[in-house]
Chains A and B, each alone.
Chain A
Amino acid sequence: MSDTGRLRRFEGAALRGVWRYEAAQFTRYWKPQTFGALFEPAFMLLAFGYGVGSLVAAVAGISYRDFVATGVVGTAALFLSVFPAMFNGYTRRVFQHTYDAVLAAPVDLHELLAGETVWTAARAGVFGSAPLLVGMVFGLDPAPGMLLVPFIVFATAFGLSLFGAWTAARVASINSLDYVITGVVTPLMLVAGTYFPMSSLPGWAQVAAHANPVFHCVELVRHAVFGFRPLADLGHLAGIAAFAAVAWTLALRTLRRKLIA
C-alpha cells in the first residue's frame, strides 16, 4: 500500500485552515516582527549607506546608498523567509508536534507545506519591501517599478521558505541549523550583489550566484527601481522559479519521510 493515493490537489479549505493558524500566531507577534522589518534595514542603510558610502560614491552607475537600499531587499527576503521556515518548521515538527495535529485534520502534507510557505512568503513580500520605503526616506527616488517589488520578494521568499522547511526537516537537532546559517544562509546573502557588486567577486562565485535566488531577487529589484531589462529579467525569474521547484520537491519528500512513516 502506498500513499500515492492521498489527494494531490490543493483544497482552499485546507489552505485557509493553515492560514488561520498562521494568522493567530501573527496577531501575537506582529509588533516585534514589524519593528524588526522596519528598523533592521534602517540600521543597515545607516551603517552601509553612510559608513561605506562615504568611501564609495557610486557602484555600477548608481549611488552606493541606493545600491544598498535595493540590495537590502534581497537580504530581507532571505532572512524573513529562511529563518521562520527553519525555526518554526523544526519547533512545530519536533517540539510542539503541531504538524501531527494538523495532519490528523483534513489537511494533506502538500497543503500544509504550501499554506505555511505562501504565508511566510506573503509576509516577506510586505515586510521585505520596507527597505525601499526606508531608502526613500534616505533619498532613494520613487519609481513605478517599485510596485512590483513585493511580488519579486514573494516569489523569492517562497523558494527560500521551502529551502528552510527542507533543512528543518533534515537536521538532527535544532542546533544543527547553525551549520545551515553559517554555511549556506550567510553565503547566500553575501554572494548576491547586496552590499558590493558581483563584478568584484571571483569568476567562479559569479557563476555560482546564478543558483542563488537572492542574487536574482536583488537584480530584479534593482531593475524594477532603475529600469527593467526584459530578457535578463526573464532569466532572473526563471532562476527564482527553478530554485523554488527544486526546494519544493526536496521539502515535500523529506517532510513526508519524517511525518508520514
Chain B
Amino acid sequence: MGHNVTSVTQQTNALALRGVVKRFGDRAAVDGLDLTVERGVCLGLLGPNGAGKSTTMRLLTGQAVADEGAIEVLGFPVPRESKRARAAMGVVPQQDNLDEELTVRENLEVFAHLYRVPRGGRAAAVARAVARARLTGRERTRVGDLSGGMRRRLLIARGLVHDPALVLLDEPTVGLDPQVRAELWGLIDGLRAAGTTVLMSTHYIEEAERLADDCAVMARGRVIARGAPSDLVARHAGKQAIEHHGPPARLAEVERIAHAAGLPTRRTGPSVTVLRAEELPPSALEALGADGFVRRPTLEDVFVILTGERVE
C-alpha cells in the first residue's frame, strides 16, 4: 500500500478513496478507484451490474478489505478504525436483511443498541425511525407481515436510527414498483435537505437525476466520469440529440453517418440516437434526412455511451 492513509481526507470530505484495488481471485472488482465525497453532498454512484458499486460500499464499512490503496471515512482510516467510522454512518443494503420474526419496533430497538444510541435517547430514536418509515401504528407488526414498500422504508429508517452523519444507500429502490420508489425518493430527499452526506449506488438513471447533487459513473471498478448530472450531460452528450426510428438498415446508415462525423450514437430497440447533434456538419445533417426527432440529451444517454450498457 503506497498511500498515506491519514492524509487522504480533507476536512470537507466525508469520504475519500485513493487508488483502491480489490481483487477476488484474478478479477479486480474495484480497480484503482479514486473517489471523494464532500460533506453534505448526495453522490449518485452510477454503474451497470458488476461495475464495483457494491464492493465499494463494503470496502467503506470494512466488510471487504482493499488489496491496495487508502480509504478514509469521516476522517477515520478504514479498515484500521472502521468501527469508529461505522458508528457514525448508516448503511442501507441492497438486500433486505431485516429480521422477519421480530416486530418493527424490535428491529429498530436492536439496531439502536447496536449503534450505541444512549439509553435515555433510545425510545425517542426508535419513535423517530417509526415515524420516518411511516409505520406509526404498526410498531408491533412482525416484519414478515409488512408489504415490500413498508419493509424498504423500515430498512432505510433502521439505517438512520442513530442520526448518522453519512448514509450509504446501496441500490435503495431496486426491484420496487414506481409508486414505492417515488415514496422512498421523498425520504432520501429529506436526508439531503437535512445536510446528511449520502452515497447512493444505483443503476436507475432517473433516481440519480432526481436525488444526486453529483454523480460518479463507475465501470470496470473505477470512476470513468464525474460531475453534476447536467454537467455530465453537457460534457458527454452535448446540447441536442436526434432520434431516428426505422428498419435495421436505416439505423445502421444513421450510425455510419454519425460516426463518420465523430459523434457518438446510442441504439435503443428500433431507434438510434445521435448525440452531440449540434456538432453535426451541414452535409452530415443533410445525409441523415429530416425524419429525426430532436430532443434534449439525458443522463441515460451519458450512461449508455460511457458504459456501453442498457439501462433499466
Contact = CB atoms under 8 A, between A and B. Distances in A.
A259 B80 contact: no
A238 interface: no
A98 B99 contact: yes
B66 to A, nearest CB: 5
Interface stretch (B112-120, B182-190, B269-277, B281-289): B112-120
Contacts, number: 99
Interface in A90-121: 96-98, 100-108
A18 to B, nearest CB: 8
Contacts of A2: 65
Given A97-B95, A98-B97, A100-B63, A3 B79 contact: yes
Contacts of B61: 103-104
Contacts of A18: 114
Nearest to A18: B114
Contacts of A101: 91, 93, 97, 111
Contacts of A13: 116
B263 to A, nearest CB: 42
B106 interface: yes
A208 to B, nearest CB: 39
Chief secondary structure at chain A's binding surface: helix
A260 B97 contact: no
Interface stretch (B32-40, B81-89, B239-247, B291-299): B81-89
A7 interface: yes
A6 B69 contact: no
Contacts of B97: 96-98, 100-101
Interface of A: 1-3, 5-7, 13-14, 16-18, 20-21, 24-25, 28, 96-98, 100-108, 259-261
10 contacts: A5-B81, A7-B81, A17-B110, A96-B97, A100-B93, A102-B114, A103-B63, A104-B61, A106-B83, A259-B63
Interface of B: 1, 24, 58, 61-69, 79-84, 86-87, 91, 93, 95, 97, 99-102, 106, 109-111, 113-116
